[in-house]
Structure 1
Amino acid sequence: MNIDDYQPPLVAILRGLSPAEAPAVAAALFASGFRILEVPLNRPGALECIGIINGIKPPGALVGGGTVLSRQDVEAVFGQGGRILIAPNFNPDVVGLAKSMGMLAVPGVATPTEALAALAAGADAVKWFPAEALGPTGLRSVKTILPSTARVWPVGGIGAGNLGDWRRAGADGFGIGGRLYEPGLPMAELEGRAKEILAAWHAS
């Protein structure tokens, strides 16, 4: 698997998604142009949602788990058809297992040391987290010492209004949570937010 095959590199973070909502939410996001959906594991029903989305995703789309903290989490996500893990931290055991199973791994980092260690361990991209606290200036500095092939995805506080600023700082993709999806959000509003974010991406 190659992480660059999934375009645009925008991850819809579906924290709090319920199995009942999963089909409609996933369908709306896929129809809007999102190709990577993440269901964080620290909410009830997450694994069931991953399985549901895996069953309806279109070609060229990807679903996986977020807040993946352990080897058991990796195995559980894989068992539901998830093929990408996204974590708030860098755990070499978690990344190593995911890669051995043919999954994409995007661990969280907040320093140059963590970013370089994660990439050396086989991470396909690194999650710059928490982006709100680290800021675009920090990202710009870190990008100067990373390999030119490194993919850095800020997560935390990203939306249509500031996506361009982060792109200019060197962001290669994003994880987008509360400014895209919230439990119970009407589908029309979800679709509107998705289209605004995608438009901002294409304009950046």
Structure 2
Amino acid sequence: MCALPMIEPTKLRDALAAMPVMAILRGLTRETAGEVGCGLYSAGVRFMEVPLNGDGALSALKELCACVPDDVLVGAGTVLDEGQIDQVAQAGEQVIVSPHFAPNLVARTKALGLISVPGVFTPSEAFAALKAGADGLKLFPADGLSPVVLKAWRSVMSLEDVLILPTGGVSSQNAAAWWAAGASGFGVGSGVFQPDLRGEDIEAHAGRFTRAVGGLTR
């Protein structure tokens, strides 16, 4: 395998600082990737993730990466094995997001110079993921927990600077509570992206969520 360029982990922090949203583009196709990327960008999104468990996901991911501006962080989600990480790296993507924590996946991601965001559900998993080299944590499934849990994590663990993204069940109605508890951003699917939308409707739909969270401050 040829040497691949290192992606600075600070790009993740920068993308979330611009807009605290990881847009999960389940159902994205190669044909719609450019239009969707532009629409989400116009709505303020700077971190986009395409789950690999959909038909044609890798080709859609490649097209998305080619179409969006350089300040957009593009990654693959639902990554389950090292072979997928290799494919994503060769395609020129930047982030590996998984629904779970596996030490070998974090190690392979970092060895290839990519940003690692594994899924965690317990403090033990969170500590183990960070020790393995994770750059951020996907709190998943967030709808199985609550903002109270995240607040407790922040209060008893040395995680002040760790990027934590509740994912699953986050909406414009509960995002503020997650934010107040210490969320760094939100993994959001249908709340920002629906594969049947076209044209201006893409930006309009995503904009309803980004307007709700874009002004959150601590």
Q: Structure 2-normalised TM-score? A: 0.89
Identity of aligned residues (%): 37
Q: Contact 1:116 / 1:146 at 8 angstroms: preserved in 2? A: no
Q: Where does 1:97-112 land on structure 2 (aligned, <5 Å)?
A: 97-112=108-123
What's the offset of the Cα at 1:42?
A: 0.3
Q: CA RMSD in A?
A: 1.3
Q: Where does 1:1-204 land on structure 2 (aligned, <5 Å)?
A: 1=8, 2=10, 3-6=12-15, 7-144=18-155, 145-204=157-216
Q: Contact 1:98 / 1:104 at 8 angstroms: preserved in 2? A: yes
**Matched residues, number:** 204
User: In 1, Cα distance between the equivalents of 2:183 and 2:96?
Assistant: 19
Distance 1:78 1:181, change over 3 A: same
What's the offset of the Cα at 1:161?
A: 2.0
Which amino acid is the alignment partner of residue 201 of structure 1?
V
Segment drifting more, 27-36 vs 140-149 = 140-149
Segment drifting more, 99-108 vs 155-164 = 155-164
Which amino acid is the alignment partner of residue 179 of structure 1?
G
Which amino acid is the alignment partner of residue 128 of structure 1?
L
What's the offset of the Cα at 1:8?
A: 2.1
SS in structure 1 of the partner of residue 99 of structure 2: coil
What's the offset of the Cα at 1:120?
A: 1.0
SS in structure 1 of the partner of residue 29 of structure 2: coil
Q: Contact 2:13 / 2:163 at 8 angstroms: preserved in 1? A: no
Any idea what the Cα deviations from partners look like across 1:137-178, whole Å, max 9, x if unmatched? 111112221422111100011122221111011101111102
Q: Which runs of 5+ in 1 are unaligned?
A: none
Q: Structure 1-normalised TM-score? A: 0.95
What's the offset of the Cα at 1:104?
A: 0.6
SS in structure 2 of the partner of residue 203 of structure 1: coil
Q: Which runs of 5+ in 2 are unaligned?
A: 1-7
